[in-house]
Amino acid sequence: MKIWKSLLIVLMIVANLAFAQPSFADIPKFSKNPDYIEVTKALKQLSQTKDAQTQVEGLTPEEIKKRTEELTLQKYALETGINWGQCSNQTGNTIAVYGKRPNDEEDEDAVYENGLYFLGDGQSTKNNWDCDGIYLPNDVQVENFTSNPNGQGEELRGAAALKILDGTQLVIKRNPDTAAIELNVPTVKVLNSKEANWFIPDISQDLINTRVPNAPSNQS
């Protein structure tokens, strides 16, 4: 009788583990993603601003609404497992973009975390190939640049590395009147060599134009 009672107890424990939601379930992987943490924080800041009915200096309600919508989609993309971004070049020139090495194997001899690739005019980086950002040459500037969702637009001049969030399709255009770069996303992050192990040279757009495009791409 004792044996049957013991077996019954074991079966009850197994059934409970099989059908009940374990209290020690793993935290979703996306919640540990630095991009996800950054997006969630930014959305919270914008939400607090909206709830308090206070206007951020330099931002119109329409701009706040646009940034909130963009960040909401980026948050959703990260929650659904999209772990890559795409860069599209519509500048009329070759641009430099940052991306992972061609294979998934760790290269012990690699000096930098990301490689620097060249994307031709009219090209977009290939689907599922993670474009982490773009390089801004030392003689080019970005119009209406913001690195903080609550920040006011300003001009940024290279040389610099601009990082985008996973799930973003970044479109880079050139203003025909000012020759400055225009970005379609509300915020991008400026990186320096102390924040990330990326190759950030001090070179001009003319030199980039001499490079052969080699980024994995979809021809426009």
Percent of the chain with pLDDT over 90: 35
Q: Are 181 and 158 in contact (CB under 8 A)?
A: no
pLDDT at 219: 67
In the block, which residue shows the tokens 């909206």? 50
Q: Report the mean per-residue pLDDT for the chain.
A: 80
In this structure, are strands 169-174 and 181-183 parallel, antiparallel, or unpaired?
Answer: antiparallel
Q: Which helix (H) or strand (E) holds 70?
A: helix 61-79
> Encoding tokens for residue 78?
């990260």
Rounding to the nearest 10 degrees, give the CA dihedral for residues 172, 55, 33, 115: 20
Q: What is the DSSP letter of 88?
A: E
Distance from the Cα of residue 139 to its chain's centroid: 24
pLDDT at 139: 94
pLDDT at 3: 61
Cβ pair 190, 73 in contact under 8 A:
no
Closest CA relative to residue 97, chosen from 123, 135, 128, 126 = 135
Contact 185, 153 (CB under 8 A): no
β-partners of residue 183 are 172
Q: Whole-prediction pTM value? A: 0.75
Bridge partner residues of 90 (DSSP): 173
Residues of the chain with pLDDT under 70: 1-28, 49-59, 102-110, 148-152, 219-220
For the chain, how are helix, strand and coil distributed in percent, rounded to 5?
30, 25, 50
pLDDT of the residue at 23: 44
